[in-house]
Amino acid sequence: MSSEAISGSITAFSHARPGETDDALRHLIALAHERGLEVRLDADETAKHPSIAPGPGVQLNAELDRDVGLAVAFGGDGTVLRALRAYAGTSVPVIGINFGEVGFLAAISRDDVAGGLERAIAGDFDRLTLPAIEVDFGDQSALAINDIAITRRAGDRVAQLAYAVGGEEAGSVRCDGLVVATAAGSTGYNLANGGPVMAWGVEGYVVSFIAPHSLTARALVVAPEDELTVDNRSHDPVELSIDGRPIAEVASGEQVTARFSPDVSVLALPVDSSFYRRLRESFGRLASS
């Protein structure tokens, strides 16, 4: 648990519906000013929030500072993931305020903005260090906090994806795609595929299939030291998405490589937060006796 008050500055992120988050962002700026802090909005955030005027407690059109005391994400899990990727490789904690649907990664509800921000600035939260998946495709690379998805394009034929673990081919599956997820991401696309939920803190990653045309295709939990290679043996390109965002197409005959990377980013959570309680409350999957 962190009990030391935040110092320096705070980076703010928000989702694509700024009208929902303007008031909460203004509250953060006022609170930061009272505490001698400054909220930083980059050019995109500044453009999204034209009602936020220059003044004490806020810096507009700011460059991303990777040495801030805290990052606050106003939005759903996608906004939290964007902040986590921005501060990957640093010790900056990211705290989410849920203005989305599920908000599994958020520490503060939209009904508790004032109290939640007070606690956040006081450093009254636990820190969870999250792993990531490093992805190589062509001459490019990317980092996924939750998951990567390799999927057939809309209107194309069923994909044929071969996958190898630790240099050994494990199978070739006709399917609509596959998902590679961390423990944090296992409650997302992977869960929708019927893949296993991995508790936070479990090392390794899971591979699950989207609409497999096979009775033998099963989700696979991969050891953290084993590299995964996926070959596109389809006639058509397939689409590669990182944390829900399409970023590239993988041509027929090309491959994607994924590796587990520990201790990449820091998620702020309520003190004594339980993974299993959050799972039950967010998804209603675990019934209490």
Residue with tokens 């599956």: 173
Among candidates 6, 60, 49, 61, which has minimal Cα distance to 24?
Answer: 49
**How many whole angstroms separate alpha carbon 198 and alpha carbon 190?**
10
Q: Which of 23, 44, 65, 77 is catalytic?
A: 77
Residue 124 appears among annotated catalytic residues: no
Helix axes 18-34, 113-121, angle to 10 degrees: 40
**How many whole angstroms separate alpha carbon 163 and alpha carbon 203?**
20
Structure tokens at 280: 């039950």
Question: What is the Cβ-side half-sphere exposure of residue 28, based on CA atoms within 13 angstroms?
Answer: 33
Catalytic site positions? 77
